[in-house]
Amino acid sequence: MNNTIKLKGIAWNHTRGFTSVVATAQRFEELNPNVRITWEKRSLQAFADASLDELTNNYDLLIMDNPHVSIAARDNNLLAFDDYLDAGFIEELANNSVGKSHASYNVNNKQWTLAIDAATPIATWREDLINQQNIQIPKTWEDLLELTKTGKVAFASVPIDTLMHHYTLCAALGASLFESKTELAPRAIMIEAIKTYKKLVDLAPSYCLKMNPIHIAELMSSTDEIVYSPFNYGYSNYSKKNYANTILKAGGLVTFNGKPLRSVLGGAGIAVSSKTMHAEMAMKYAEFNAIEKTQSGFYFDFGGQPGHRKSWLNEYVNKQSNNFFKDTLQTLDDAIMRPQYYGYMYFQDHASPVVHEAVSGKISAEVAVDKMNALYAESHKF
């Protein structure tokens, strides 16, 4: 076994992000006996915050989100898949993207990450409780406010999620995001978006401000306290039988001023470090994760949330997940993609706590917006 190729990867510590790739690694090793792949995991927050320099120095494979790709491209942290994989395969992935998932990892006409996981905030609810309590699922923002007054609505609103929901409401109020280099959106709209969201937050349980999407999904599936979440980054695991105590039903977002809300694209992709000593094999394994057969098969079976469009339409995948994928695909297709300029992550990291302070009532919406736009202008100078 002296010729064994050893690859090490880093994912995040949820079934969706970890056991899925552990399963693909096991199968890949069975097909390639000279390969050993070890996956490690980090928290959801660390998943968003970690330094790419540090990660790519220590790991051959990374599960990462799309806003970091611009940094990776300029700093040469990753290898481009175009230089290793067949162009026809990459085109096939582009043609079968869920929303802008594939494009979100393409910078300077190079594909730096394969979108093996797709997600955006969607609505989830407890169908059993909705039926038992004769509750109407909200269709409009006004319906949502009314239901939230009952104490039965919760949603993730830690700083990063608060910022993503801010983008959603800015767009709903008519703003074109990220077009200027001096302000995220028109100042008046940003202020109105914060105030609009704060009205909802003030009606919801205060713990929402400390909850991430996993916390909300666990709460909804393990207790009868919450019947509805209007926008939470989707985790299909909680719509699968026997994963949690109770199954969640998933669907699209409420309307705002007559149009469905558009949430902000998340998800994750698999990338290969530019420091790896085994580029060809790492690329081969990444490709193995991205093919539709794997995505609709044991990647999904072992907890993964596919990024391949055919998997989202797959009858077996939907039957096993309470139609999670079919019922939310339109929301994914409509999702807003974050910008791909180099300094964006500086803005996201520093603006998230600012908008969170405003929604928490610690600072005014006006002060928050001015701080955010100063950060936004600064982020374009990197």
Asked if residue 95 and residue 13 are part of one domain, the reply reads yes
Range of the domain at 113: 5-119+266-331
Asked if residue 152 and residue 67 are part of one domain, the reply reads no
Asked if residue 312 and residue 230 are part of one domain, the reply reads no
Give percent of the chain with pLDDT exceeding 90. 96
Asked if residue 148 and residue 243 are part of one domain, the reply reads yes
Asked if residue 131 and residue 105 are part of one domain, the reply reads no
What's the 3-state SS for the chain?
CCCCEEEEEEEECCCCCCHHHHHHHHHHHHHCCCEEEEEEEECHHHHHHCCHHHHHHHCCEEEECHHHHHHHHHHCCECCHHHCCCHHHHHHHHHCECCCCCHHHEECCEECCEEEECCCEEEEECHHHHHHCCCCCCCEHHHHHHHHCCCCECCCCCHHHHHHHHHHHHHHCCCCCCCCCCCCCCHHHHHHHHHHHHHHHHHCCHHHHHCCHHHHHHHHHHCCCCCEEEEEECCHHHHCCCCCCCCCEEECCCEECCEECCCECCCEEEEEECCCCCHHHHHHHHHHHHCHHHHHHHHHHCCCCECEHHHHCCHHHHHHCCCHHHHHHHHHHHCECCCCCCCHHHHHHHHHHHHHHHHCCCCCHHHHHHHHHHHHHHHCCC
Asked if residue 174 and residue 51 are part of one domain, the reply reads no
The pLDDT value given to residue 45: 73
Asked if residue 246 and residue 220 are part of one domain, the reply reads yes
Assess whether pLDDT exceeds 60 at residue 222: yes
Q: Looking at the 3D structure of the chain, how many domains does it have? A: 2
Asked if residue 232 and residue 145 are part of one domain, the reply reads yes
Interval 337-361: pLDDT, tens: 999 999 999 999 999 999 999 999 9
Asked if residue 155 and residue 104 are part of one domain, the reply reads no
Asked if residue 348 and residue 323 are part of one domain, the reply reads no
Asked if residue 253 and residue 156 are part of one domain, the reply reads yes
Answer yes or no: is 129 within a domain: yes
Which domain-ending residue is among 331, 353, 370? 331
Interval 106-141: pLDDT, tens: 999 999 999 999 999 999 999 999 999 999 999 999
CATH assignment at residue 164:
3.40.190.10
Answer yes or no: is 227 within a domain: yes
Answer yes or no: is 336 within a domain: no
**Span 296-325, average pLDDT:** 98
